[in-house]
Structure 1
Amino acid sequence: MKKIELLAPAGDLERLKVAVIYGADAVYVGGQIFGLRSAAKNFSIEDLKEAVEFAHSRGVKVYVTANIIPHNEDLTDLPDYLVELGKVGIDALIISDPGTFSIVQEVLPDMEIHISTQANNTNYRTINFWYKQGAKRVVLARELSLNEIKEISEKIPEDLELEGFIHGAMCMSYSGRCLLSNYMANRDANRGECAQPCRWKYHIVEEKRPGEFMPVYEDETGTYIMNSKDLCMIQHIPEVIEAGINSLKIEGRMKTTYYVATTVRAYRMAIDEYLKDPKNWRSNPQWLEELNKASHRDFTTGFYFQRPDEKEHIYSDQSYVRTYDFIGLVKEYDEKEKVALIEQRNRFFKGDHIEVVGPREEIYERVIEEMWDIDGNQIDVAPHPQQLVKIKIDYPLKPFDLLRKIREE
């Protein structure tokens, strides 16, 4: 069996470090141009240098997205940008466009290239074509079933890797080649500017009755006819791996530090259990419970087992399910004083019942009994974003541990 890789998203340096610490084997990020998440913070060249150094020191790979569908003007700065990426020491580039592919081969002939899902990789002939051009890996289209993937894996070279999504948001145009954003908001989804109009609320207006909004679906609040559920394959790790996918990818470069940590942690445990004893693997309900504690939409298995039907969309609203609040990130812990320095992420109070989550399997519950501001003054609440707060806690915490509490209605 090929080496199994857990591949995590990172929208910035903090999220990359969290992904690495919580168990990712590789991380994919966007540079400041040529990626499909222009709204993410993304990485400057200096950030990438630090990211690569941090990841490589822990045996983790870093892949950079360059997977927009470029127009002529987009190509102008690409060669110089690639030279800078080559100096940083990244492990691979994720490409969707043949022109971009050829420029990468000219400028960085030794760079490993992965073919993005944007290239609509739905059959073994396409995948073999990319292999012959020099691609090391192909990211499978999301509209493939496990049976189709198994057939593909049987008809490609052994040294060609297959990457597939196992968790995260699903695009209405599953491989991502969508023009709806261009039409509705004049923002090119294929150049990193998607406005996500598939998540908007729609009504019908009849030509001779302007201003009279009729629901597309029988619901007085309107409908979200293109709003897909989120993918979740935590209960089907054996089927995914045994179909031939060896890089298991989590979607979410726009997602929070808490989402990255929680999701990577859950899938790390599930994959490790499979690798220990594939024949006797059983899904642990706690893994799914953890995924439910991160912000998410209702879950689906997408196309993996059967073609999705009307049950795979959410027609009532576009909101996420949020049952827990991420309230703080641990910066330091003083073992002698048993005091943790916390960077606040959501408001919390003295007396709150909290959970402490780290890359380990155990989750610890505590009540905040004492807390101080950075100047040592006792306080009852931490209301300010990214406020530094000290709390008394008897369990030894580590940097990048997370604190969370049940969300208040």
Structure 2
Amino acid sequence: MKKIELLAPAGDLEKLKIAIDYGADAVYFGGEMFSLRAGAGNLTAEEIREGVEYAHERGKKAYLTINIYAHNEDIKPLEEYLNRIKGLNLDAFLVSDPGILLLLKEAIPNAEIHLSTQANMTNFKAAEFWHQQGIKRIVLARELTFKEIRELRSNIPDEMEIEAFVQGAMCISYSGRCLLSNFMIERDANRGQCAHPCRWKYSLMEEQRPNEYFPIEEDERGTYILNSRDLCMIDHIPELIDAGIASAKIEGRMKSIFYVATVVSVYRKAIDAYYADPENYSFKEEWLTELKKVSHRQFTTGFYFDRPTNKDQDYQTSAYTRDYSFIGLVKDYDPKTGLALVEQRNKMSIGEEIEIFGPNTKFFTQILEVMLDESGKPVESAPHPQQLLQIQVKQPVAAGFMLRKRK
């Protein structure tokens, strides 16, 4: 049985390495241009080279997104960009624009090409068309049910793979093809600059029809009528695999390393548990509890089981739930002294209960009792961003482990 791929977001080089260390089979990221996450750190050509090497040394894959919808002014810079990166040994490119597909095939004839979700891939005849254009993998639109996915899988060539989102933000427009941001503040979502106006607060008014009301929940302050909950499929791993999905994709190139590490780690455990014993596999509630320790909205299964209803929207707020703070990243560890060198990310103080976790491990809890500054002097609290500290830990750790605390 070919194992489903766990595909993780990498908004910058640090996140790329964290995603791989915590169990991703592959990572996807944008370059400095032509990616739909202009606000992410993204990677320079040299960082792409380093990231690809890091992935390949560990038997993992690296995919580059070039999934904007290009305007005329983008064509020449894109040609130049493709010529600069064509020797970087990338495993695949994600595109949505047929013009970019053509340019990519001209610049890198042997490139493996994946169709981005931005292309609104919703039926098997469209898949047949894209297969004829040389597409190896299709990233499905988020608007498909399991029934539709299974039917699509049975009507496309065996060698054509299916990738689908399993975790992260949902868009209220078909596969992200949205004009709202461009219309309201001239930031084009289809060129990587979405301002997420779907998360803003709105009030509905129709002055000529005072007695006709749109059936939404609202109060005197307005309502978030476009605000979807976040997708979460952690308790449906068997269904994802049974539907013929080859790659389970996590959304979140704008998210923190704490988010990437936590979500990748949880899905890694769940997927591995399924393949270890498919007949006796059972969902563990602790996986969902872990996912809720990162910044998130309430969860939904999106379109997978049926069309979303008002229960899949959050009409009260667009704010994230943040019950835990990411407080530190382990940079080194001395087993003789039990001291970990930690880079602070949020304030922590002596006497607080903290949790520490790392790749392929369960978290452990301890009270923060010993904390030293760079000169070895004891300190009571660490309020300064990214200051280096030595912290006594109760169990062995390693570089890349993370510290968190309940707010």
With structure 1 as the length reference, what TM-score do the two structures score? 0.96
Q: Deviations over 1:295-347 (max 9, x none)?
A: 10000000000110111110001101111111000000011121111011110
Whether the aligned pair in 1 keeps the contact of 2:218 and 2:315 (CA below 8 Å) is no
2:314 is paired with a residue of what secondary structure?
coil
Say if 1:216 and 1:160 are closer, same or farther in 2 by CA, change over 3 A.
closer
2:212 match: none
Q: Which amino acid aligns with 1:222?
A: G
Stretches of structure 2 that go unaligned for 5 or more consecutive residues are 209-214
Deviation, 1:120, is 0.5
CA–CA distance in 1 between the matches of 2:218 and 2:138? 42
2:253 match: 253
Deviation, 1:276, is 1.3
Q: Which amino acid aligns with 2:256?
A: T
Whether the aligned pair in 1 keeps the contact of 2:120 and 2:174 (CA below 8 Å) is no
Stretches of structure 1 that go unaligned for 5 or more consecutive residues are 209-214
2:113 match: 113
Matched, 1:90 2:90: yes
1:327 is paired with a residue of what secondary structure?
strand
CA–CA distance in 2 between the matches of 1:68 and 1:2? 31
CA–CA distance in 2 between the matches of 1:18 and 1:42? 15
Q: Which amino acid aligns with 1:323?
A: D
Q: Deviations over 1:15-44 (max 9, x none)?
A: 111100100000000101000000011101
1:46 match: 46
1:163 match: 163
CA–CA distance in 2 between the matches of 1:303 and 1:404? 33
2:127 is paired with a residue of what secondary structure?
helix
Matched, 1:388 2:393: no
Whether the aligned pair in 1 keeps the contact of 2:27 and 2:63 (CA below 8 Å) is yes
CA–CA distance in 2 between the matches of 1:88 and 1:289? 39
Deviation, 1:361, is 3.4
2:211 match: none
2:290 is paired with a residue of what secondary structure?
helix
2:324 match: 324
CA–CA distance in 2 between the matches of 1:27 and 1:241? 19
Matched, 1:189 2:226: no
1:300-319 correspondence to structure 2 within 5 Å = 300-319=300-319
With structure 2 as the length reference, what TM-score do the two structures score? 0.96
Q: Deviations over 1:207-227 (max 9, x none)?
A: 79xxxxxx9743122211000
1:203 is paired with a residue of what secondary structure?
coil
1:58-137 correspondence to structure 2 within 5 Å = 58-137=58-137
1:358-377 correspondence to structure 2 within 5 Å = 358-377=358-377
1:325-344 correspondence to structure 2 within 5 Å = 325-344=325-344
CA–CA distance in 1 between the matches of 2:204 and 2:119? 33
Q: Which amino acid aligns with 2:21?
A: I
Q: Deviations over 1:170-213 (max 9, x none)?
A: 011141101001111110000000000000011246779xxxxx
Say if 1:261 and 1:334 are closer, same or farther in 2 by CA, change over 3 A.
same
1:244 match: 244
1:136 is paired with a residue of what secondary structure?
strand
Deviation, 1:394, is 3.2
CA–CA distance in 2 between the matches of 1:275 and 1:29? 27
CA–CA distance in 2 between the matches of 1:123 and 1:178? 20
2:86 is paired with a residue of what secondary structure?
helix
Matched, 1:234 2:227: no
CA–CA distance in 2 between the matches of 1:174 and 1:328? 38
2:397 is paired with a residue of what secondary structure?
coil
Whether the aligned pair in 2 keeps the contact of 1:204 and 1:216 (CA below 8 Å) is no
CA–CA distance in 2 between the matches of 1:369 and 1:218? 48
Whether the aligned pair in 2 keeps the contact of 1:216 and 1:222 (CA below 8 Å) is no
Q: Which amino acid aligns with 1:50?
A: E
Matched, 1:57 2:88: no
- In terms of mean alpha carbon deviation, does 360-369 or 5-14 score higher? 360-369
1:267 match: 267
1:77 is paired with a residue of what secondary structure?
helix
2:55 is paired with a residue of what secondary structure?
helix
1:378 is paired with a residue of what secondary structure?
coil
CA–CA distance in 2 between the matches of 1:204 and 1:329? 45
Q: Which amino acid aligns with 2:96?
A: S
Whether the aligned pair in 1 keeps the contact of 2:113 and 2:137 (CA below 8 Å) is yes
2:175 is paired with a residue of what secondary structure?
coil
Q: Deviations over 1:242-279 (max 9, x none)?
A: 10111000000000100000000000011011111222
2:267 is paired with a residue of what secondary structure?
helix
Q: Deviations over 1:101-153 (max 9, x none)?
A: 01100000011100001001000011111111111100001000000000011
* Identity level (%): 56
Whether the aligned pair in 2 keeps the contact of 1:9 and 1:28 (CA below 8 Å) is yes
- In terms of mean alpha carbon deviation, does 272-281 or 41-50 score higher? 272-281
CA–CA distance in 2 between the matches of 1:260 and 1:384? 23
1:49 is paired with a residue of what secondary structure?
helix
Q: Which amino acid aligns with 2:167?
A: H
Aligned residues: 402
Deviation, 1:85, is 2.1
1:198 match: 198
1:87 is paired with a residue of what secondary structure?
coil
2:325 is paired with a residue of what secondary structure?
strand
Q: Which amino acid aligns with 2:336?
A: K
- In terms of mean alpha carbon deviation, does 189-198 or 353-362 score higher? 353-362
CA–CA distance in 1 between the matches of 2:374 and 2:66? 42
Whether the aligned pair in 2 keeps the contact of 1:203 and 1:216 (CA below 8 Å) is no
Deviation, 1:360, is 2.0
CA–CA distance in 1 between the matches of 2:259 and 2:110? 34
